[in-house]
Amino acid sequence: MRIDMVKVNENYQKLPGSYLFSTIARKVNAYSEANPDKKMIRLGIGDVTQPLAPAIIEAMHKAVDEMACAETFHGYAPDLGYEFLRSAIVKNDYLARNCDIAVDEIFVSDGAKSDSGNIQEIFAKNNRIAVCDPVYPVYVDSNVMAGRTGTYDAVSETWSDVIYMPCTMENDFVPEFPRETPDLIYLCLPNNPTGTTITKDALQGWVDYANRCKAVIIYDAAYEAYISEKEVAHSIYECEGARTCAIELKSFSKNAGFTGVRLGYAVVPKDLKCGDVSLNAMWARRHGTKFNGAPYIVQRAGEAVYSEEGKAQLKEQVAYYMRNAAVIKNGLTEAGYTVFGGVNAPYIWLKTPEGMTSWAFFDYLLERANVVGTPGAGFGPSGEGYFRLTAFGAYENTIAALERIRKLGL
Ligand SMILES: Cc1ncc(COP(=O)(O)O)c(C=O)c1O
């Protein structure tokens, strides 16, 4: 018999509970099974509902046909992405905004979840991370898995070695520079879950701060396509000095409906160094070793996002979701709720009524209105007392959900 067992990564054992959306799915499934006659409206997980735009479908069909022919077949993609896609990204997402980013600073991936979870790997274990609170849970959880977060306090629901930057009604959901100096700063703007964002001037303040304290900003711009206000930057590289302090992560999930297709990219500028070490070279090494490229068909689909037809069709798709956002925001406001977000992001962030906890409100909505949302506490301790609804549903369902919520008369 073996006495010395294989040892697991104990950091995983420190993670409290399951991933937020798995817990929600479990609760919803249990309720649905017990109440098969009820029609649920899901405004919980940030998944899109509209089909891929015609320009994208056309590009995918064409790429599929190419795969059927030996002369045009594609096997392994280049580690860092096909040139055609990387060039389209640079031209449209950066040069068009006067951002100085080159093709060899773009790393094509299978999405921003992987990138935002993996990027911490190239940093030492003893770096201190700072996160907005509440925020997309992947940043903290992936650092927990890496053993970078210290011990968990179940009462405050915080990690001893994580610097939390509370974003609440009191500060208009704008993160403030932390009192302790961080090494890695995760900024998710527009923010998931609060749906709020900051101005370009405020972002410039963060870039200056990071350069001053030699920190690296990991800037998750997954919701960039939803920005509607002029004074909000679409990329951190619109700010002066960002090339020496920021990595930007982008996704094709929310702007182009690729949640089931899978495509994203990271920007790691060559000027970004820790001492003499180039993070661009490190990420290239990591990517080359651990990633075998996004599929050719998917990268061709990504290229179509930047075609004239693609851009026009996706503008309409974003507008469709933002119409939902307006329906939710206005409907809830009229019903007396205190509501945020929904202007530069497809998320509505509301104060739970009557002092309910966010999980109590989740249960209440699930059982009384058969509407699924996301409890704010799942995004960090400062999310307690808030609740997230997404604008990614079908328009008719969004209207119906609002009707049900209003009928509750809370
Ligand atoms: C802030 C943020 N980053 C990344 C992702 C995941 O993006 P992707 O589908 O590209 O993995 C999400 C998904 O909800 C998100 O909210």
Dihedral sign (CA 300, 305, 307, 313): positive
Residues 162-194: pLDDT tens digits? 999 999 999 999 999 999 999 999 999 999 999
In a domain, 292, yes or no: yes
Give the residue whose CA is nearest to atom 2 of ligand 1.
222
pLDDT given for residue 100 in this prediction:
96
Pairing mode of beta strands 277-278, 371-372? unpaired
Q: Report the pLDDT averaged over residues 81-109.
A: 98
Q: Is residue 269 lining ligand 1, measured as CB closer than 6 Å?
A: no
The residue among 274, 308, 342 that closes a domain is: 308
Q: Where are the beta strands (DSSP E) in 330-372?
A: 339-341, 347-351, 371-372
Whole-angstrom distance, CA of residue 45 vs CA of residue 37: 22
- Find the CATH number of the domain harbouring 379: 3.90.1150.10
| 34 & 146 share domain | no
Does 332 score more than 70 pLDDT? yes
**Cα end-to-end distance, the chain, whole Å:** 62
| 221 & 87 share domain | yes
In a domain, 104, yes or no: yes
Range of the domain at 332: 11-51+311-408
Name the domain count of the chain: 2
Residues 288-305: pLDDT tens digits? 999 999 999 999 999 999
Q: Is residue 251 lining ligand 1, measured as CB closer than 6 Å?
A: yes
In angstroms, what is the span from residue 222 Cα to ligand 1's centroid?
Answer: 6
Does 5 score more than 90 pLDDT? no
- Find the CATH number of the domain harbouring 212: 3.40.640.10
3 band by pLDDT with thresholds 50, 70 and 90: low
Whole-angstrom distance, CA of residue 346 vs CA of residue 369: 21
Q: Is residue 118 lining ligand 1, measured as CB closer than 6 Å?
A: no
Whole-angstrom distance, CA of residue 256 vs CA of residue 315: 9
Does 2 score more than 70 pLDDT? no
| 315 & 290 share domain | no
Whole-angstrom distance, CA of residue 97 vs CA of residue 199: 16
| 121 & 21 share domain | no
Three state DSSP letters for 146-214: CCCCCCEECCCCEECCEEEEECCHHHCCCCCCCCCCCCEEEEECCCCCCCCCCCHHHHHHHHHHHHHHC
Does 73 score more than 80 pLDDT? yes
pLDDT given for residue 306 in this prediction:
98
267 band by pLDDT with thresholds 50, 70 and 90: very high
| 156 & 292 share domain | yes
Whole-angstrom distance, CA of residue 69 vs CA of residue 306: 26
| 149 & 191 share domain | yes
Does 1 score more than 70 pLDDT? no
Q: Report the pLDDT averaged over residues 206-228.
A: 98
Whole-angstrom distance, CA of residue 142 vs CA of residue 131: 12
DSSP 233-256: -SSGGGSTTGGGTEEEEEESHHHH
Residue type at position 255:
N
Cβ(247)–Cβ(219) under 8 Å? yes
C-alpha distance from residue 170 to each of 135, 165, 197, 334, 371 (Å): 17, 13, 15, 22, 28
366 band by pLDDT with thresholds 50, 70 and 90: very high
In a domain, 4, yes or no: no
pLDDT given for residue 22 in this prediction:
83
Q: Is residue 164 lining ligand 1, measured as CB closer than 6 Å?
A: no
| 199 & 100 share domain | yes
The mean of the pLDDT values for the chain is 96
Name residue, tokens 């100085």.
100
The token duo for 313 is 């069709």
pLDDT given for residue 29 in this prediction:
94
Does 67 score more than 80 pLDDT? yes
The residue among 248, 282, 308 that closes a domain is: 308
In a domain, 223, yes or no: yes
pLDDT given for residue 90 in this prediction:
98
In a domain, 1, yes or no: no
The token duo for 345 is 């992001």
The residue among 288, 308, 328 that closes a domain is: 308
In a domain, 6, yes or no: no
pLDDT given for residue 352 in this prediction:
97
Q: Report the pLDDT averaged over residues 43-53.
A: 93
In angstroms, what is the span from residue 36 Cα to ligand 1's centroid?
Answer: 31
